[in-house]
Structure 1
Amino acid sequence: MKKFWNWVRDETTEERTLYLNGVISDETWWGDEITPKMFKDDLLSGAGNVTVWINSPGGDVFAAAQIYNMLMDYTGKITVKIDGLAASAASVIAMAGGDVYMSPVSMLMIHNPSTIAIGDSEEMLRAKALLDEVKESIINAYELKSGLTRAKLSHLMDAETWMNANKAVELGFADKIMFAEGEKTAADSLIFSRVAVTNSLISKLPKQQKPKTGTPIESLDKRLSLISH
Structure 2
Amino acid sequence: MAGSGDITVWINSPGGDCVAAAQIYNMLMDYKGNVTVKIDGIAASAASVIAMAGTKVLMSPVSMMMIHNPMTVTFGDSGEMQKAIDMLASVKDSIINAYEIKTGLSRTKLSHLMDAETWMDANKAVELGFADEIMQRTATDEVDVPQVSMLYSKANVVNSLMDKVAAKCAIKSEPTRKTKADDLMDRLNLIKNWR
Residue 97 of structure 1 corresponds to which residue in structure 2? Answer: 54
The reply to whether residue 55 of structure 1 matches residue 12 of structure 2 is yes
TM-score (norm 2): 0.81
Coordinate RMSD, CA, aligned: 2.1
Residue 64 of structure 1 corresponds to which residue in structure 2? Answer: 21
Aligned residue runs from structure 1 range 131-142, under 5 A: 131-142=88-99
Higher helix share: 2
Equivalent position to 1:207, from 166, 169, 178: 169
The reply to whether residue 143 of structure 1 matches residue 100 of structure 2 is yes
Query: SS in structure 1 opposite 2:111?
Result: helix
Equivalent position to 2:113, from 156, 159, 177: 156
In 1: Cα distance, 2:57 partner to 2:116 partner = 23
Q: How many residues get paired? A: 171
CA contact (8 A) 2:15 2:48 kept: yes
Distance 1:183 1:151, change over 3 A: farther
Distance 1:202 1:88, change over 3 A: same
Aligned-residue sequence identity (percent) comes to: 64
Deviation of 1:47 after TM superposition, in Å, equals 2.7
Q: Which runs of 5+ in 2 are unaligned?
A: 178-195
CA contact (8 A) 2:13 2:47 kept: yes
In 2: Cα distance, 1:184 partner to 1:130 partner = 42
In 1: Cα distance, 2:145 partner to 2:55 partner = 21
Moved more, 202-211 or 84-93: 202-211
The reply to whether residue 127 of structure 1 matches residue 84 of structure 2 is yes
Deviation of 1:120 after TM superposition, in Å, equals 0.6
The reply to whether residue 195 of structure 1 matches residue 155 of structure 2 is yes
Structure number with bigger Rg: 2
Query: SS in structure 2 opposite 1:188?
Result: coil
Q: Which runs of 5+ in 1 are unaligned?
A: 1-43, 216-229
Deviation of 1:214 after TM superposition, in Å, equals 7.7
Letter of the structure 2 residue corresponding to residue 116 of structure 1 = V
Deviation of 1:149 after TM superposition, in Å, equals 0.3
Deviation of 1:76 after TM superposition, in Å, equals 1.4
Moved over 6 A (4+): 180-185
Equivalent position to 1:170, from 127, 132, 147: 127
In 2: Cα distance, 1:214 partner to 1:167 partner = 50
Residue 83 of structure 1 corresponds to which residue in structure 2? Answer: 40
Which deviations, in whole Å up to 9, do the C-alpha atoms of 1:150-172 show, x marking residues without a partner?
A: 00000000000000001100100
CA contact (8 A) 1:165 1:189 kept: yes
In 2: Cα distance, 1:163 partner to 1:55 partner = 14
In 1: Cα distance, 2:37 partner to 2:64 partner = 14
Higher strand share: 1
